[in-house]
Structure 1
Amino acid sequence: MSAHSWIAINGHPVLTQREGYLDDLLALFQESESVSEENRIADGPGYAYQSTVAHLRDRLRLLGFTPGVASAEFEQHTQAWLDRNPNPGADEMGVEVRNAAAIRTEVRAYLNSDDPYATYDDYGEPFFSMDLRTQLRLHLDAVVDENALVRYELDDLVRYELVTPGEALADRARADNQDELLKGAPLIVLTEGSSDSKLLASAMRVTHPHLEGFLRFMDFDRGAPGSVGHLVNLVRGFVGAGVANRVVVLADNDTASRSALAAIDASLPPTYRVVHYPNLDLLRSYPTLGPQSDIPVPMDVNGLAGSLEMYLGEELLRDSQTLVPVQWTGWDQKLGAYQGQLIGGHKDRIQRAFRRKVERGSSPRSWWMKGPPRDPVAAL
């Protein structure tokens, strides 16, 4: 004898698993729906998760397993089965080949039967070749009474000491499913604005085209002004919504960004990481303007004025061969430092010039082919 678990809909078993349970199906239940029933089986307590047809239909809909999607997939798989095994006859396993309508009739009759000992013939290959949640959706949609009970029966597993009543099996199954899903999910990069996102994404397509599709620069508000406040709100929205992807919060290397993000960095989930643009040698002695003098004063502006434009190429920072100065503005009391930014309208000019630079870099004789660029994802 071996241990089995199974879904029982309206008292009728379907979707059986040997020596364990099916994560995708158990993850559809809540821990509050676990039931332990003394003396339900002869030599130990019964154990199950129990919900209703209506509740599971709703949960599957949120996951994208709608009646229309499930039905279309079922029709497609059934037709493929028929094409390989024209009626009349049986398939290679000896199962009678039926069309979709015949199978649906059998499923409805079985699941809506009042006979606790009702049985059904093998549904055939169409069910077995589909996602388990699609199979469950098709079964649930065949039930007339939406308040009928749906149980994940775990009695056998308890009897053979494969599980223990009280274990958070449903929560564990959801966590395992989420971990598996995230293994193939792209890394999300959040920036201070849509302009930063677009510039970085276009640059990556030139310098690291082999990474396209494996990370995603998010652009939520087209034309929204870049600001660290915008970025902080995005991060809080992601965390509040429970976005479980790995997320890199990529911000300017300046006073305003370090001050704003320091407040949320320590409270972020472990899959989130705050990263600022790195220090540059060019910025260790960079011309700056302040109220004390009209003549630019060289200063180390790393961590004080390192906006994205400072990283788009030294040649773009020059105006008539002279580096465009940084203007000191507001004082940050918390960090004890001034915020700096490029003077005038040079920010827009540099962005436009960088877009042209990217276009040149996309050609076969691009500048980046002269040697490997500094790895922009090493800090991620």
Structure 2
Amino acid sequence: MAYQTTALRMRQRLELHGFTAARAYNDVREKAEEYAKDPRRLRTPVVEGRERFETYMKDIESAIEALLHDAGAPLRRLHPLDLGERYISRNNNRSYLRFVLDQISDDTLVSLYVSNYIVHRLAKSSGSIVQEARSEQLARLPADAPLIVLTEGPTDSRLLSAAMEITHPHLVEFVNFIDFTTHRAEGSVSTLAKTVATFAAAGVANRFLAIADNDTAAHSALIKVKSDKTLPNTCRVLHYPYLDLLTRYPTLGPYGQGVVLADVNGRAGSLELYLGRDVLTIDGNLAPIQWQHYDSKLGRYHGALSDHDKKRVQKAFEEKIKSARMSGGAPSGDWTGIEAIMNTIITAFMSVHD
């Protein structure tokens, strides 16, 4: 009896919990150096002062290579009492797992064999072991709690939540998009900034991410909160990412009459522009951006789709979601923008090493 997934999916899950590649490397390095100073804690005797960090790293690499050539599942023997305990504590075994996962290809199958746990009555043969483990995790540390994602309003929250079910279904239980509709909260970029400040002041234990439009209005409204040095390490304030599609996008005004291709990254990148070229195409052409007010603070115009086009794009995307669900979660069409946003969310805490 076993649970299986791919190395890529497991890495992404660990990433969302803050176990980044840099953190894993630092944890393993720290423990290797710690053990190097006290050879008595190693199972294999060494001569104190002669064994260096590089030697231990080579030992780890050799062990990983042996695991990868094992006739069974590559990670079957990865247990804190087997190899990992020599270098990191049991409390950090996810760092060690992330370290190993970074050595193998994305499509490598990773298996957790649970038969022994059932035999030794460490787990029940009936029911979901995953659900039991998740319940225990959520009762412990913030690192085990879902990442809270704050958006500008209910539409962004609803569409991104639905999109994740299609593109990254294995991450759904690890991310909680705040539903503004359910909580009857006002939706706007100014409210988003206030919510970030409130979460920080309240000492919310979960890691939380505020992600806003990549347009002039959002960049202007979030300048102050993004420069706030008092925000905790558990918080990130970001915008939707740069997108190639938006580098030459049709715009109307203020340059003159007719359509002008312009780079609208950072100036008009609302969520709708990330929902796919297919849903943005109306009557054979990309729905154009209409330049609106000028922001003197940033020295650039703010742009947006017309309200009519915005609603049409949202409806088309909802149909694309519906179609993907009916086909068993197999997405068709352009999901480039959504993938870019999901990657931004997944890697939001890559700079956290502690």
Q: Structure 1-normalised TM-score?
A: 0.50
Measured against aligned partners, the alpha-carbon deviations of 1:308-346 in whole angstroms (never above 9, x if no partner) come to 000001111111111111111111111111111012411
Tell me the residue number matched to 2:347.
Answer: 379
Tell me the residue number matched to 1:319.
Answer: 282
Count residues with an aligned counterpart.
204
Pick from 195, 201, 206 the counterpart of residue 234 of structure 1. 195
Q: Do the aligned partners of 2:166 and 2:330 also contact (CA within 8 Å) in 1? A: no
Identify if the C-alpha distance between structure 1 residues 251 and 263 changes in structure 2 by more than 3 Å, giving closer, same or farther.
same
SS of 2:173 mapped into structure 1? coil
Tell me which amino acid in the other structure corresponds to 2:152. Answer: E
Q: Do the aligned partners of 1:289 and 1:295 also contact (CA within 8 Å) in 2? A: yes
SS of 2:211 mapped into structure 1? strand
Tell me the residue number matched to 2:224.
Answer: 263
Alpha-carbon distance, 1:214 to partner: 0.6
Identify if the C-alpha distance between structure 1 residues 252 and 379 changes in structure 2 by more than 3 Å, giving closer, same or farther.
farther
Alpha-carbon distance, 1:280 to partner: 1.2
Identity of aligned residues (%): 47
Q: Do the aligned partners of 1:324 and 1:342 also contact (CA within 8 Å) in 2? A: yes
Tell me which amino acid in the other structure corresponds to 1:216. Answer: N
Tell me which amino acid in the other structure corresponds to 1:355. Answer: E
Distance, in Å, in 2 between the alignment partners of 1:361 and 1:308 is: 19
Alpha-carbon distance, 1:191 to partner: 0.2
Alpha-carbon distance, 1:359 to partner: 0.9
Mapping for residues 339-358 of structure 1, pairs under 5 Å: 339-358=302-321
Distance, in Å, in 2 between the alignment partners of 1:361 and 1:284 is: 28
Tell me which amino acid in the other structure corresponds to 2:347. Answer: A
Distance, in Å, in 2 between the alignment partners of 1:352 and 1:340 is: 21
Unaligned runs of 5+ in 1: 1-177
SS of 1:346 mapped into structure 2? helix
Tell me which amino acid in the other structure corresponds to 2:301. Answer: Y
Distance, in Å, in 1 between the alignment partners of 2:210 and 2:310 is: 22
Q: Which has the higher contact order (CA 8 A, sep 6+)?
A: 2
Tell me which amino acid in the other structure corresponds to 2:149. Answer: V
Greater helix percent: which structure?
A: 2
Asked if 1:254 corresponds to 2:222, the answer is: no
Tell me the residue number matched to 2:63.
Answer: none
Tell me the residue number matched to 2:157.
Answer: 197
Alpha-carbon distance, 1:351 to partner: 1.0
Tell me the residue number matched to 2:176.
Answer: 216
Distance, in Å, in 1 between the alignment partners of 2:268 and 2:205 is: 32
Tell me which amino acid in the other structure corresponds to 2:161. Answer: A
Tell me which amino acid in the other structure corresponds to 1:233. Answer: K
Q: Do the aligned partners of 2:276 and 2:335 also contact (CA within 8 Å) in 1? A: no
Q: Which runs of 4+ in 1 moved over 3 A?
A: 220-226, 364-367, 369-375
Measured against aligned partners, the alpha-carbon deviations of 1:285-330 in whole angstroms (never above 9, x if no partner) come to 1111114422011110001000000000111111111111111111
Distance, in Å, in 2 between the alignment partners of 1:236 and 1:329 is: 29
Tell me the residue number matched to 1:244.
Answer: 205
Distance, in Å, in 1 between the alignment partners of 2:167 and 2:331 is: 7
Identify if the C-alpha distance between structure 1 residues 261 and 317 changes in structure 2 by more than 3 Å, giving closer, same or farther.
same
Measured against aligned partners, the alpha-carbon deviations of 1:70-123 in whole angstroms (never above 9, x if no partner) come to xxxxxxxxxxxxxxxxxxxxxxxxxxxxxxxxxxxxxxxxxxxxxxxxxxxxxx
Tell me the residue number matched to 2:128.
Answer: none
SS of 1:199 mapped into structure 2? helix
Greater strand percent: which structure?
A: 1
Mapping for residues 1-380 of structure 1, pairs under 5 Å: 180-222=140-182, 226-267=187-228, 268-364=231-327, 366-368=329-331, 374=339, 376-377=342-343, 378-380=346-348
Q: Do the aligned partners of 1:328 and 1:340 also contact (CA within 8 Å) in 2? A: yes
Identify if the C-alpha distance between structure 1 residues 369 and 301 changes in structure 2 by more than 3 Å, giving closer, same or farther.
closer
Distance, in Å, in 1 between the alignment partners of 2:147 and 2:260 is: 40
Q: Do the aligned partners of 2:189 and 2:212 also contact (CA within 8 Å) in 1? A: yes
Distance, in Å, in 1 between the alignment partners of 2:305 and 2:292 is: 10
Alpha-carbon distance, 1:259 to partner: 1.2
Alpha-carbon distance, 1:356 to partner: 1.1
Identify if the C-alpha distance between structure 1 residues 371 and 260 changes in structure 2 by more than 3 Å, giving closer, same or farther.
closer
Q: Do the aligned partners of 2:278 and 2:334 also contact (CA within 8 Å) in 1? A: no
